[in-house]
Amino acid sequence: MAAGGHRLVYGGGHVGLMGVVADAVLAGGGEATGVMTEQLMLEEVAHPGLTTLEVTASMHERKARMAALSDGVIALPGGFGTYEEVFEILTWNQLGLVAKPVVFCDIQGFYAPLFGMIDHADAAGFLHDGHREIAQRAATPAEALRLATSPPPPYVRKWGPR
């Protein structure tokens, strides 16, 4: 990421997978911007070495700010917070509010069950044609970075004539 001149934008913590990624980006001479809520500042340990740390009043502001600062999204294996954040960006893409690539870094098949559910929803008719492609999948971090820095899939309107 750093070698390619890409800046990391993430939640700003020093723990977990994203803390490791931030450390690697910074060690490689790259920039890392964290966006953290006031509440999380009290509960989590903010990364002390970030290039920039922005503090927001709410999770809604945090997600909007991260979206504004980023050109693409990569979801590493994670839990509820990861799912919630990435599905909001998927929905914003679906509605045409943003046009950003969204990539699940599917290390060792972590996201296979989730993609089974997405494919099931698509087969059952709950996704409009072209919307399944918004959720991209990569087997390696290098592939995830390549997809996240490429143009997003074409926008397909959710409602009205296509």
- Domain of 37, CATH number, reads 3.40.50.450
Residue 27 sits in the same domain as residue 39: yes
Residue 41 sits in the same domain as residue 107: no
Q: 13-57: per-residue pLDDT in tens?
A: 998 899 999 999 999 999 999 999 999 888 877 999 999 999 999
| Arithmetic mean of pLDDT, 75-98 | 95
Mean pLDDT of the chain: 94
Q: Is residue 58 part of a domain?
A: yes
Q: Which helix (H) or strand (E) holds 137?
A: strand 135-138
Domains held by the chain: number: 2
Q: State which residues form the domain around 86.
A: 72-150
